[in-house]
Chain A
C-alpha cells in the first residue's frame, strides 16, 4: 500500500491548522487494524507540505477546536485522508516531506526547525476499546489531551539519537502511531469517483425532471441558490428555510435545533457530501418535508445540488 497524497496549499500560514483529533467509530475494528497495518507501508506516504488544501476541509469539519474535531469523520462510509499538516520546511531538515528514513538520518536542524516542520497528528481511541496510545517520546505537553489519547508529532525523530532505554519504546510507539495513521488513511478528497457520483446523481435527477416536465432543459445553479435561501410557509414554523439550520453560508457549518454541528453544505469544504445516493434521498425527503411541508421535486433537488456542488 503505497499512498501518495498531496494537497494544493493556498497559503502557507494555513498550516496553523495542525491538530486533528480522531475518534474511531468502529473501535474494536480500529484496534484490530492497528495490528494488521504494516507501518513500513505507511511510511511510503508522501506528504507534500507545500500543498495543503485538504487542511481547510478538515478545519471546516471541526466541531470545536481541540475537542470534537473531525468527530464527523466517523460517519463517513468512504475512506478519508487524515494526514496533513505542518508548515513548509524553512531551514535545517528540509526533508520534512519525506518519510521516516531520510528524516532520521540527519538531525534535522534545531528543535525549533523540527517543530516547524513536524507533521502533527492527534488521535484518540475510546477508553472502552482499551486502546489508548501514548507517545512519551514526544512529550508535547501543550498538546496532550486530557482524556487519554496520544499525540503523534512527527514522522521523524526530534533528536537523531534517542536514549537507548527508550529506543524500543519509541519504535513501538511510532509503530502504533503510524499504524493508527494508516488505519484511518482514508480518502475524502474530491476524487474522480466522487465527481462521477455527483454527475450520476444529477443525471438521475435530470431524467426524473425530464419525465415530470418534457420542457426541462437543465438544472440551474441560480434557482438552487434561491431555493436554499428562500423562506417557506408550508413546513415547520421553526425551520422556514434551509438556512434555518444550515446557516446562510454554505461553506460554513450549520447547527441543528438541538445544538449538533452540521457539516457545511458546500462540496468544496465537505467533499464527502452527496456521494451516497440513498443518504441524499433520505435527507431531501426529511428536510423538504420539514422546510417546505412536502417532498421536493426532481427539478428542485437537481437545482439545489447543482448549487451546493459548485460551492
Chain B
C-alpha cells in the first residue's frame, strides 16, 4: 500500500512542478516590446544604451525626457531641433499609452496619470518584475546598470524580455 502512495506523491509533485514552470513560461510570453524601427531614432537613442522601446514609457514621459536632453541622466545628449522633433514624434506615436498600448499598457500599471516617470526601471511593474534580482547581481561588472537590459535579456535588442 505504501509504494503506490509514494509513486502518486512523486507524480503529483512532478506535475505541480511542471505546471509551475509552464505557468511561468506562459506568463513570460507577453514580454514583448517592439524595438525602435526608425533608423534615426535607433541611431540617436541607441548609441550609448539600448534604444529602449517606446512602449515602455507613456508619451508624457518621453516628452519630458526630450525636453531636457542636456541633462540626460548625467550626460549631455542634445541633438539638433529637427532630429529632436522626429524622435519626439516617433516616441509619442508609439508610447505605452498611444500606439504601443498593446505592449506597454501592463508596464504602466500603478503609474498615476499625473506623473511622468523618466526611468523605466522605476516603474512599479518593472520593480515588481525584477524583485528577485539581488543587489549583488546588479553590481556585477557585465551588468553595471539597470539600463543594460541586454545583459540578462538576451534578445532585448529585438524586443523580447521573456527571460
A interface residues, Cβ below 8 angstroms from B: 23, 25-27, 67-68, 71, 74-75, 126, 128, 147, 236, 256-260, 286, 289-290
B42 touches A74 (CB 8 A): yes
A258 is contacted by which of B34, B50, B155 (Cβ under 8 Å)?
B50
Residues of A within 8 A of B144 (CB): 257-259
Contact A259 B155 (CB under 8 A): no
| A258 pairs with B39, CB closer than 8 A | no
Main secondary structure of the interface of A (DSSP, over half): loop
| B48→A75 contact, CB < 8 A | no
> Sorted from nearest, which 3 A-B pairs have the closest CB atoms?
A259-B148, A258-B49, A258-B147
Interface range, B side: 20 to 34
Q: Are B37 and A75 in contact (CB under 8 A)?
A: no
A258 to B147, CA, bound (A): 6
Q: Which residues of A contact B161 (CB under 8 A)?
A: none
Contact B50 A147 (CB under 8 A): no
Contact with A along B26-65 (1 / 0, CB 8 A): 0000000011010100110011111000000000000000
Interface-central residue, A67, A71, A147, A259, by most chain B CB under 10 Å: A259
**Residue from A71, A126, A236 within 8 A of B74 (CB atoms):** A236
Known contacts A75-B42, A126-B158, A259-B150, then 19 further A-B pairs from the complex at CB < 8 Å, ordered by chain A residue:
A26-B39, A27-B37, A68-B150, A74-B39, A126-B37, A128-B34, A147-B160, A236-B74, A256-B47, A256-B49, A259-B49, A259-B143, A259-B145, A259-B151, A260-B47, A260-B148, A286-B75, A286-B76, A289-B76
In the complex, what's the smallest C-beta–C-beta distance from A176 to chain B, in angstroms?
20
- CB of B142 within 8 Å of the partner chain: yes
29 contacts between A and B (CB under 8 A): A25-B37, A25-B39, A26-B37, A26-B39, A68-B150, A71-B157, A75-B46, A75-B47, A126-B37, A147-B155, A256-B48, A256-B49, A257-B145, A258-B144, A258-B147, A259-B145, A259-B147, A259-B150, A259-B151, A260-B46, A260-B47, A260-B49, A260-B50, A260-B150, A286-B75, A286-B76, A286-B77, A289-B76, A290-B76
Contacts of B34 in A (CB 8 A): 128
Bound together, the chains give a CA A128 to CA B32 distance in angstroms of: 11
CA gap between A289 and B75 in the complex, in Å: 10
Cα distance, A23 to B160, chains bound together (Å) = 15
Residues of A within 8 Å of B109, CB to CB, are none
B27 CB → nearest A CB, Å:
19
Closest A residue to B34 using CB positions: A128
Is B106 in contact with chain A by the CB < 8 A criterion?
Answer: no
CA distance A246 to B38 in the complex (A): 26
Known: A258-B147, A258-B148, A289-B76. A23 touches B39 (CB 8 A): no
Does any Cβ of A come within 8 Å of B24's Cβ? no
**Which residues of A are found within 8 Å of B143, using beta-carbon distances?**
259
B49's closest neighbor in chain A, by CB?
Answer: A258
- Least CB distance from B43 to A in Å reads 5
Chain A hits for B150, CB < 8 A: 68, 259-260
In the complex where A257-B145, A259-B144, A259-B151 touch, is A25 in contact with B42 (Cβ < 8 A)? yes
Query: B158 contacts which chain A residues (CB < 8 A)?
Result: 23, 126, 147
Which residues of chain B are within 8 angstroms of A236 by Cβ–Cβ distance? 74
Least Cβ–Cβ distance between A36 and chain B, in angstroms: 19
B154 on the interface (CB 8 Å rule)? yes
Residues of the B chain whose Cβ atoms lie less than 8 Å from the Cβ of A256: 47-49
Q: Which of B43-99 contact A (CB under 8 A)?
A: 43, 46-50, 74-77
